[in-house]
Amino acid sequence: MLRCKTLFSTGLMALALLLAGCASLSPYSALTKLHLTLNAGDQLNPDLNGRPSPIVVRLFELKHPVAFENADFFSLYERAKESLAPDLVVSEELELRPGEQLALRLSVEPGSRYVGVLAAYRDLDQTQWRYVIQIAPQALNNASLTLDQAGIRNSNATLARTEN
């Protein structure tokens, strides 16, 4: 009898954990999510000879975008923590190759309302190297960005664009 109760209790606990895990993955959960697609153009980040090259992309979860919008590239790239304090929540770095498409499924931290996208272009003066995505809290947010020789751009009207 005791073994039956223990087995039942263990099964009930496992079911509760499974349901809690499913709730956190549900699009109806209270978590804030961002489905971000990064599309690299075939002529991404041309080198001195015009050949496309990979690019480093950094994603910054932010409470407010003002510091990100006003900082210069090298402050953000080399000293992001200091330049974006206290608005920086978390950051992530990845590499994107010409012609590549990345589909990212991100859980956004509580308090984050923006995602800043920074791309380390070779020719910073001639490209749109930063972008800000506004995030709706406790919702599933979708964004699709294209990175090509001109910089970061998108076709989704819900994104807020910054000027260099």
Report, as an integer, the average pLDDT of 95-102.
97
With bands split at pLDDT 50, 70 and 90, how would you rate the model's confidence at 30? confident
pLDDT of residue 26: 54
pLDDT of residue 45: 95
With bands split at pLDDT 50, 70 and 90, how would you rate the model's confidence at 164? low
pLDDT of residue 154: 86
Task: Enumerate residues 6+ apart whose C-beta is below 8 A from 151.
Answer: 119, 121, 127, 128, 129
Q: How far apart are CA 1 and CA 12, in angstroms?
A: 16
Helices (H) and strands (E) in the chain, counts: 4, 8
pLDDT of residue 19: 53
Strands 130-134 and 140-148, by their bridges, are unpaired
**Is the distance from CB of 77 to CB of 30 less than 8 angstroms?**
no
pLDDT digits (tens, 9 = 90+) for 52-84: 999 999 999 999 999 999 999 999 999 999 999
Q: Is 65 left (phi over 0), alpha (psi -120 to 50) or beta?
A: alpha
